[in-house]
Amino acid sequence: MRNRINQFSPDADMSYYRRIQILRERKLEDTKDKASYWSFADGDDYGAITPPEDYKFEPIPNHENGSFYGYEGWSRNFYKLMSEHPIHIDPCDAFANRWMNCLSWIRHENGINQFNPDYSYDHLRPEQEKYGIVSGIGSDAHFGGDYSIGLSLGWGGLLEKLEHYRKINPEHNEFYDAEVLTIKGIQVWMERTVREIEKAIEIETHPVLRENLEQMRECNEYLINGAPRTLREACQWICWFNMASREYNRDGAGCQLDEILRPYYERDLEAGIITPDEAKYYIACLLLNDPHYYQLGGLSPDGKDMVSYFSYMILEAADWLDSSCNITVRVHDGMDMDFLRKAVYYLFKNKNGWPRFSGDKALSEGFMKKGYPASLARQRVAVGCHWMSLPGLEYTLNDCVKINCAKVFRLSLDEMMAGEGEKSTKALFEIYRKHMRRAVEVTAEGIRFHLKYQVYNEPELMLNLISHGPVEKGLDIVDGGAMYYNMCIDGTGIATVADSFAALEQRIEKEKRLTWEEMYEVLSSNFQGMDGEYIRRMLASSERYGGGNTLADRWAVRINEHFTEDVNSMDGDGVKFIPGWFSWSNTITLGKAVKATPNGRRDYEPINHGANPHPGFRKDGALTAMSNTICSVQPGYGNTAPIQLELDPGMARDEEGIQKVCDYILTIFDQGATLLNINIINADEILAANENPDLYPDLVVRVTGFTAYFCLLTPEFRQLVVDRIIKAS
């Protein structure tokens, strides 16, 4: 943890913009520190910084296995974490503190992150293993809260609310005790922070920074109990919630940022206590504090465009910061086209992988097919890697549950080849369908298990506070506190499977270049030898997923249709299941569970990334062909199968170029796409960065749904990103 106090001479330029520049440079230093400290690579960039070297958190166990569980375990440990948490003050920053660790990671580092052993799901494990299911059991966060609850009440108001409902639900005292202790912990951290700010004021000699520290102190002293009144206070409160929630369990879901903050700005403007640059400074500092996921624009529940001048200001603030950021622009018919063009302009200007873009039409219409009205569907905002959430209303396990369809495929192929029956893609598909159906059933069972027992494992003490229901009912959001349970089940490896079916159909059945037995022998040997490699390349150059109405594209449509049908059929008992296609950064780990596949993939190599094709899917790598394919495999019920693109910086060097990119974006969302992630990078740059990542400390890439500093990714994952970009170029 670096000392940032009194680092400038009293006459140094400290305009708002200059302060953001300094903070940006400091973030690069922090990123470098994290590279050597962090044990969790291949994940998001965070606003976290490294703690002091002598800092170590010792958890308080409440179980004989040395771990802690349930309301009591988590609240006590969170309170301890907050009480001991180091304080970081940067006089250039509008806001106090940074987060540095989280209880979920602490449990992992200490080897105590097992699901509460008092509740066993051993009966599910064999089939979870068989089908490569990432069950989601014990996963946390991954749904969005409603920030307006916390902003309207403040921590003091939340405590009052808890006491109010405790009287109504006395049987849930354990819940209320835990929630009260959680807030108390945050308040202790805030109080300690205010003391540190006071010390910093004594030391800081730059008059502007000293004044900033005074305001910081005043703001935070008030916010210990008070509800935010100004834009600065609102942003600082959001920072506190975000930091505390990250510290609790890495929650990174944000909100509809423009509409949440705009009223505060307008009140400040009316009161004559803010300027636009000051507002941008606050927004930039908020974005710096942590790259939580925020949405801009979209439709209000009654169908009006939510883009406002404040939405533009947020983009401008993000441009000032020029760092990693997870802003999503919601695209819809009749949207402010200048805003879309501005968003695309910043995407190409800063090359940080933001904004990304979500498609209102497919998302809303899809979610409505699960029985929800349009007004609700429009509120389901982009607040996660590849996911949407109804603020404070639903529990989802988004991005936590994966079925390894490539593994299901391979075991189906093994079964067919071992049997006496027909050898054909028709027969193979029937076996695959049978196993996929069972995999979905097992997955749904696992989710139901999680819903039943997760409260005894890890309650959602932070997100409960800004959800509608838990406090009112005295029940954790997992345990009946939520309004809706819309559980996400993602398939992975769609391209791996589709390409494999297509290769078998083309090379064996149509062209008769080899037999089933020859193929299987070569596959089982992992394509050994010259003959094996020849056949591997033959299979790999079959008609590919993403090529544009190819054999593999048609297989993918069938695979998706059945997967979607299977997932939807699991609905019942107040729980709905929503399918998607997304691997997050599990592309490598999921691949390690699968031996060679007939698409030419060798043993344990990565499966395809999300819903994207395997690299080299088409000679010209045409975006439109790939996009059409991904549009055709959208499950269509409100969750996403994102498109991940790499675009050359030269593509939008003028207004005409920007317009063409906008036209592309509008067209794909018309065609049913749900989410679009874009990296602006060229092949030379990424190759050089892969060679010497340390020389590119500020290279940010959107990896899957999240942004990360390239230098912080593991070499294996960097190579995955490089391969995708090189082939695309």
| Minimum distance of another protein from residue 643's CB (angstroms) | 13
Measured from the CB atom, is 49 or 625 closer to another protein? Answer: 625
Q: What six digits make up the tokens of 365?
A: 């219409």
Q: Which listed residue (58, 118, 663, 716) binds another protein by CB under 8 A?
A: 663
Alpha helix segments (H runs only) across 511-550? 516-524, 529-540
Residue 180 or residue 726: which is nearer to another protein going by CB? 726
Task: Look at the block and give the residue holding tokens 């059933």.
Answer: 441
| Helix (H) / strand (E) containing 255 | strand 253-256
| Burial 355-369, CB ≥16 within 10 A → b, else e | bbbbbbbbbbbbbbe
- Rounded Cα distance, 206 and 215, in Å: 14
Token output for 149? 């609850």
Question: Total binding residues for another protein by CB under 8 A?
Answer: 26
- Segment near another protein (CB under 8 A), from 128-136, 272-280, 566-574, 664-672? 664-672
Torsion of CA 27, 35, 695, 702, to 10 degrees: -70
Taking CB under 8 A as the criterion, the residue among 651, 696, 697, 727 binding another protein is 651
| 156, 548, 615, 697: residue in contact with another protein (rule CB under 8 A) | 548
Options 56-64, 129-137, 317-325, 616-624: segment touching another protein (CB under 8 A): 616-624
Whether 611 and 693 have beta carbons less than 8 Å apart is answered as no
Using omega within 30 degrees of 0 as the cis cutoff, is the peptide bond preceding 355 cis? yes
Binding test (CB under 8 A) with another protein, winner from 457, 628, 634, 640: 628
Choosing from 5, 181, 227, 623, the residue that interacts with another protein (CB under 8 A) is: 623
**Binding span for another protein by CB under 8 A among 66-74, 283-291, 498-506, 623-631:** 623-631
Report the residue from 173, 215, 525, 541 that binds another protein according to the rule CB under 8 A.
Answer: 541
Rounded (5°) CA angle 338-344-346: 105
> Contacting another protein (CB under 8 A), which of 164, 195, 452, 537?
537
Which residue in 305, 445, 571, 670 binds another protein (CB under 8 A)? Answer: 670
Would you say 626 or 712 has its CB closer to another protein? 626
Smaller CB separation from another protein, 231 or 538: 538
CA distances from 161 to 158, 262, 450 (A): 5, 25, 28
| Dist. CA 39–CA 43, nearest whole Å | 10
Tokens found for residue 87 = 């304080």
Nearest alpha carbon to residue 177 among 166, 187, 191, 169:
166
Q: Which is nearer to another protein, 397 or 658 (CB)?
A: 658
514/719 Cα distance (integer angstroms): 32
Contact 122, 114 (CB under 8 A): no
Residues 6 or more apart whose CB falls under 8 angstroms from that of 162 comprise 176, 179, 180, 183, 471
Q: Does 538 bind another protein (CB under 8 A)?
A: yes
- Indicate whether 671 belongs to the interface with another protein (CB under 8 A): yes
**Shortest Å, Cβ 636 to another protein:** 17
Judged by CB under 8 A, which of 157, 263, 657, 697 binds another protein? Answer: 657
Beta strand segments in 448-502, E:
484-492
Nearer to another protein, 263 or 548 (CB): 548
Site string for another protein, 496-535 (x = CB under 8 A): ----------------------------------x--xx-
Residues 255-314 that bind another protein (CB under 8 A): none
Q: Which is nearer to another protein, 185 or 636 (CB)?
A: 636
Q: Tell me the C-alpha distance between 52 and 87, whole Å.
A: 10
The answer to whether 611 and 642 are in contact (CB under 8 A) is yes
Residues 549-588 that bind another protein (CB under 8 A): 549
Identify which range of 247-255, 467-475, 488-496, 622-630 contacts another protein by CB under 8 A. 622-630
Contact residue for another protein among 664, 706, 710, 717 (CB under 8 A):
664
By CB under 8 A, the residues from 399 to 418 that bind another protein are none
Q: Which of 84, 96, 85, 100 is nearest to 40 (CA)?
A: 100
CB 413 within 8 A of CB 524: no
Residue 368 touches another protein, criterion: CB under 8 A: no
Stretch that binds another protein, among 259-267, 514-522, 537-545, 709-717 (CB under 8 A): 537-545
Alpha-helical segments (H) within 250-336:
257-271, 276-289, 309-321
Q: Which residues bind another protein (CB under 8 A)?
A: 530, 533-534, 537-538, 540-541, 548-549, 619-620, 622-625, 628, 651, 657, 659-660, 663-664, 666-667, 670-671
